[in-house]
Amino acid sequence: MKSVLFTAVGVLAITATFAQGRTDFPMKPEMTEIWDPEISVVTPGATPQDAPADAIVLFDGKVIASEWTNDAGAEPGWKVADGCVTVVKGSGVIKTKRQFNDFQLHIEWRTPAEVVGESQGRGNSGIFLQGLYELQVLDNYNNRTYRNGQAGSFYKQYPPLVNVCKGPGVWQVYDVIYTAPRFNANGTYFTPPTVTVLQNGVLVQNHVALRGPTEYIGIPEYFEKPHGAGPIILQDHGNPVSYRNIWIREL
């Protein structure tokens, strides 16, 4: 990068006043090269949506029971067909057998093509990170609801930056970068969970700091019990929402 940088920022550099290092002891370029340890190689997927080599594929479109259970630890009651898994009303959540801390998650979802209900009643499901923090799944295409409860929100904590929903029956994508909380000895957060989310390639959550586990009622800020790794949980809210191409990378 050496040859052109100085031209590029030349105008700024002329007017800038730097805190001066000692000009009588100049550094050499090599002094700021760090060679070890070597960075690990990971083979990327064919497209950014495809799982890279170091990802755990949580659902490849065919088998759900290898990586997921229902809430009682038994085989999920959801329906697998046509390369996706779909909520069966009343069967309850499904959750990963594995537990995760910090991770990058890719997940694709589709609300029903047949539009039924309104506000929170239309195409409602949700993705609980570490089993506690809900990234809302909802059909918000021409369907108004409260801003902190719509698709792309962390339910009742952070509304999405924009409503970038595709329509009913169309596949959508969440890419999630999640950093788990660290705890103080007394059970409060030392650092809260932080999350960045892209929906259909568009930023909807920009490194937000969650307040506490998702609460339907009340203020979610007063968690007094540390938690460790947790599963990904997909919610049965009674609507036949579908999921596919779910992969995760532990960070």
Q: What is the CA radius of gyration of the chain?
A: 22
Beta carbon of residue 124, minimum distance to its own copies (angstroms, whole number): 7
Total chain residues near its own copies (CB under 8 A): 114
Token code pair at residue 144: 């108004």
Nearest to 236 by CA among 106, 85, 105: 85
Candidates 58-66, 77-85, 109-117, 118-126 — which segment interacts with its own copies by CB under 8 A?
A: 118-126
Q: Coil, strand or helix: which one is 214?
A: coil
Compute the distance between CA of residue 234 and CA of residue 241 in angstroms, rounded to an integer.
Answer: 10
Token code pair at residue 31: 């002094």
Interface with its own copies in residues 182-201 (CB under 8 A): 182, 187, 190-191, 194, 196, 198-201
Among 76, 112, 123, 126, binds its own copies (CB under 8 A): 126
Compute the distance between CA of residue 23 and CA of residue 121 in angstroms, rounded to an integer.
Answer: 68
Interface with its own copies in residues 132-171 (CB under 8 A): 132, 134, 136, 144, 146-150, 155-156, 159-166
Interface with its own copies in residues 67-86 (CB under 8 A): 71
Is the Cα torsion angle 183, 188, 189, 195 positive or negative in sign? positive
Beta carbon of residue 111, minimum distance to its own copies (angstroms, whole number): 14
Is 177 a binding residue for its own copies by CB under 8 A? The answer is yes
Among 12, 62, 81, 114, binds its own copies (CB under 8 A): 12
